[in-house]
Structure 1
């Protein structure tokens, strides 16, 4: 019995994508990067200038030590109180001065940030679930003139859009009249993601929710949530000062701009590439990774800033990481890929689904008949008993899973035949519009418990625990009712329609991603971004369910966060695909 299997990326258009193809993709990016500088445009609006106080509005429970992490960072931005240890926070911040020189080269304006007032609201005066309007309301508690008001929400506070499409935001609002004159004031909001979405908003101090699962770095202040907040606050401060009112420096559309730091996502040191933060300093005592020294002996990890003079992303450890350096990083990755061992996939001696298995669909919420047909036709297409003449086909894609069965028992492999089962429609939202994981299991139990996979599909107006924060769907198993005196475990899947909640996360590439390069989305093949996204996630989970139905089949990595047959190949749909 084989215990290891080398995974092969069998796709519809090219049955085998080798690492060689990945190398070519990386090199194509590298070559184009040498000749295509990142366009960054000044839109003729004002930048923040003069002496600006940064006021902190603490909303929720924060320890004094946590507040000190942020306040020490703000104080470290000023060159009037320089840090002896280099590289420093103040050195990192000096890159923003170049924006001011470019906007007025003859008489460049200056900006001096300083620590302002701190307002503490530990009583959750507006509750624990805040709207964007309430964030603005909290921000207005700070000074309105010559100020940036920063709202910081604790780990137990939910904020509109938090973890779904953002980790923080910045904006401006019209303030009350000061000496007969009205001012616009700039504000920032950043949330503590430690308990809600650390893989999204506190990377690289937590494993990412998608992509390569490399070990997380040790946070320099020993607080994943707060060190993640520093990264996001640093990024938003750079964006706020250089694009405070939406008409300063940015790239792309005005309503979704890439700014001074957000134009360089995931870059913290030399050689950075998606999934790797770059070469960083490491504290020999704590093992923490950092790239900037701050006041009071603090260490921080700060994002790269876009340098408008060199049109490249600049980090502290190598003051300018040009696209040439990024090119070298891509090539190093490519070169290592040529000699890298194939991806190891381990069989954990558990059962795989075999025999004739019905796939039952439980539709929860409002779906049009045409939407239900998209899913049911996909399920029916998995079977080779009803082959599709046009190739490549769904059935051809699915045949890769047969190889897992051959490896378990090469002499007499088990077989699996999937077929369309029953469809159960619940348009009345019998359990409400906010479901827990237990509710999902309860809905899944409505289908047959023997020789079945029960698939729960929730509509776009249904909120599910963890949806958009850490998952787009999931699969599991549960003990079913007794059938002829015998109890069976049944497998189930849940997938949500992300169209109105997080399409950039769960319906990519049919929607622009929430982070990273903002390339044009693809046209959905069935003209329904939400449902076509659901097909992708359902396909991935079906492959995982059949080859690892009870948590002891085929997977890579930890059992509680496994990479399975499809999730081990995130974002790969055709020849030449890469994370770049």
Structure 2
């Protein structure tokens, strides 16, 4: 293959980005439809589905030209070039499941568009090596388009792929994207390009997961990369996603979901899904090489193995390996005690909270077991009844407001460890109780904003605070929730604040006009559901015991029907305030509460 010289060109781009989705998903915005004088309900907007927007798709024979910017070893370049060669390989000796089979599933999009029902045939084209960093070590989007144009490669029936080395900083890399694709040129002669960065030294937890521990969420051991190169194996994942998006939405009017400016496409609409049984933080059931221990789901040419993302199939389930899901990764009961009977919720307020802020929380707790006639529907009490599906007795657990303790003097300082949280929780010393610690916006807590918005657990730190639970009756359950308003509202108060990653669409209006406290209610609701159904680590959960997904956390980012990563779902909207919510509480309160996993249907159940 030829390695050509360098030449400059400029074009006006239309760009779609491979976004970083944290486990705390990103916001788009609710859509509104008037229902009655005091509230409205959102209808399923067509943009919330992956639809065809009547534009052209790439078809026929397409060359994939590679521009290597920065230092890459020959071995690293061969990982990518072998992947490209594998996409439309005609070789019959490649083991299954194969890269070719994965790529062939793109054909379903062409059938839906009433085009020739076959995926485009990709082949490896020209390669250019720019290991002298001709544009420097810090690139803008304009630089990427300039690189993609070398030399005259922005032509019909080709995709120019710019690959930047691990020591190259690119605008938006690691903060909002792992790569991007777009089109450039005049209206009648547009051509497609892609950029993917090597994240190995900059953000492997964001752009090379699951081959590196994530920056947020459960810190489970990373998988072994199939080509023994975390950065390059991560680049293959992102390149595969972007190639799928490029051919099915090359010019911004093909197949996509959500707003045109930040679309979810064929692969990016299935973030983090690589095998059956996948859930946030778990890539799914994968093949494992017995010699190297590497995880993969596709075979390529020259004995290569790769991990490729799921592709959204509107007519069926996402394409993924036909492997069964191990029992430990299913949502199931682990034979331990659940909390039951009448449970008091004791509140320990640590730091400065106003009376109106405390009332938002106390009204929520009172609403959990409020008689139905006293509140409009859907109600907080109706939402809480979703936890009854975990019990044989449908009215097994009832929550009520208990004691409140104020510590406005920051008796343990403004930087707390989990040990501090447990000591604070032990102050709520009633039997048959859950002791909840709330930390103010100016209090730093170990792990807050990095891997969690709150937590729950059990402790024997207080002899007087204990709960019924078989041989665990010397323990009491506690929860902690932090106020994220000033520290990380985009992570722990979404969708009421713009996310730290992903599309920066307008946030929803918080129903109690307090982003921090409305975010705390969402997190408290999730933790209370997890506490009663998995109080001591052997109740209902999914995944590893050390980082379980529970009744609500198994349905991240889902608040109403039609939810998808970045869109909270169809919600009610108050016509007076414009606030989005899905549950009514006492004293005229409105709240946004997470979906609960329904163990009877193995699905996420929402109020709306």
Per the normalisation by structure 1, the TM-score is 0.57
Change (3 A) 1:454 1:518: closer
Q: 1:151 aligns with which of 147, 154, 162?
A: 162
Partner of 1:139: 148
Return the match for 1:172 from 166, 183, 195. Answer: 183
CA distance in structure 2 between the aligned counterparts of 1:123 and 1:174, rounded to whole angstroms:
27
Pick aligned residue for 2:112 from 92, 102, 105: 102
Match of 2:330 in 1: 333
Q: Distance in 1 between matches of 2:55 and 2:85?
A: 27
* 1:523 to 2:517 alignment: no
Is 1:64 aligned to 2:60, yes or no? no
- Does the CA contact (< 8 Å) of 1:66 and 1:226 recur in 2? yes
Shift of 1:288: 0.4
Residues 519, 245 of structure 1: CA spacing in aligned structure 2 closer, same or farther, 3 A cutoff? closer
Asked whether 1:236 is paired with 2:245, we answer no
Label 1:420 to 1:190 Cα distance change in 2 as closer, same or farther (>3 A). Answer: closer
Q: Residues 512 and 575 of structure 1: is their aligned pair in 2 closer, same or farther, counting only changes over 3 Å? A: same
Residue 508 of structure 1 corresponds to 494
1:265 is matched with which residue? 271
The SS at the match of 2:189 is strand
SS in 1 for 2:201: coil
Q: Distance in 2 between matches of 1:473 and 1:407?
A: 17
| Aligned residue pair count | 414
**Equivalent residue of 1:239, what SS?**
helix
Which residue matches 1:217? 223
Partner of 1:317: 322
Contact 1:55 1:147 in 2 (8 A): yes
**CA separation of 1:285/1:73 partners in 2, compared to 1, >3 Å: closer, same or farther?**
same
Q: CA deviation at 1:523?
A: 2.5
Please state if 1:93 is matched with 2:109.
Answer: no
174 and 420 in structure 1: CA distance in 2 versus 1, 3 angstrom threshold = closer
Q: C-alpha displacement at 1:409, in angstroms?
A: 11
| Structure 1 residue 329 displacement after superposition | 9.2
Asked whether the equivalents of residues 163 and 197 of structure 2 are also in contact (C-alpha less than 8 Å), the reply is: yes
Distance 1:190 1:44, change over 3 A: same
Distance 1:496 1:64 in 2: 48
Q: For the residues of structure 2 that align with 1:410 and 1:379, how far apart are their CA atoms? A: 20
* CA distance 1:163–1:473, change in 2 (3 Å): farther
Change (3 A) 1:280 1:454: closer
Shift of 1:232: 0.8
Instruction: Please report how far the alpha carbon of residue 128 of structure 1 lies from its aligned counterpart in structure 2 after TM superposition.
Output: 2.4
- Asked if the contact 2:522/2:594 (under 8 Å) is kept, the reply is no
Corresponding residue number in structure 1 for 2:130: 121
Q: Is the 8 A contact 2:285 2:326 kept in 1?
A: no
Alignment match, 1:17:
none
Partner residue of 1:40?
Answer: 50
> How far apart in 2 are the matches of 1:341 and 1:160?
51
Does structure 1 retain, via aligned residues, the 8 Å contact 2:272–2:309? yes
Cα distance change, pair 341–200 in 1 and its aligned pair in 2 (3 A): farther
Question: 2-side partners of 1:243 and 1:311: how far apart?
Answer: 20
Distance 1:49 1:223 in 2: 32
1:488 aligns with none
CA distance in 2, matches of 1:244, 1:87: 27
Matches within 5 A, 1:468-483: none
Task: Tell me how far apart the structure 1 counterparts of residues 353 and 452 of structure 2 sit (CA, whole Å).
Answer: 21
1:50 corresponds, among 60, 63, 66, to: 60
* 1:169 CA drift (Å): 1.3
1:405 aligned to which of 409, 423, 439: 423
Seen in structure 2, the aligned counterparts of structure 1 residues 64 and 420 have a Cα distance that, compared at 3 Å, is closer
Alpha-carbon displacement from aligned partner over 1:202-242 (angstroms, at most 9, x marks no partner): 11111222333322111101111111111111011001001
CA distance in 2, matches of 1:264, 1:200: 16
Q: Evaluate the alpha carbon distance shift between residue 186 and residue 329 of structure 1 in structure 2; reply closer, same or farther with a 3 A threshold.
A: farther
Distance 2:520 2:165 in 1: 36
What SS does the aligned partner of 1:231 have?
Answer: helix
How far residue 52 of structure 1 moved from its aligned partner, in angstroms, is 1.1
Asked if 1 retains the 8 angstrom alpha-carbon contact of 2:82 and 2:300, the reply is: yes
Q: Distance in 2 between matches of 1:130 and 1:84?
A: 38
Q: Comparing both structures, which one devotes a greater share of its residues to helix?
A: 1
Measured after TM superposition, the shift of residue 88 of structure 1 is 0.9
Q: Is the 8 A contact 1:506 1:533 kept in 2?
A: no
In 1: Cα distance, 2:135 partner to 2:144 partner: 10
Q: Deviations over 1:8-59 (max 9, x none)?
A: xxxxxxxxxxxxxxxxxxxxxxxxxxxxxx9431111111112211111122
- Contact 1:57–1:119 (Cα < 8 Å) also in 2: yes
CA drift at 1:290: 0.5
Question: Closer, same or farther in 2 for the Cα pair 1:159/1:498, shift >3 Å?
Answer: farther
Kindly state the Cα deviation for residue 80 of structure 1 after the two structures are TM-superposed: 2.8
Taking structure 1 as reference, are residues 380 and 230 closer, same or farther at Cα in structure 2, changes over 3 Å only? Answer: same
Q: Matched residues in 1 for 2:196 and 2:402: separation?
A: 46
Rounded to whole Å, the distance in 2 between the matches of 1:314 and 1:168 is 22
Distance across 1 between alignment mates of 2:438 and 2:108: 62
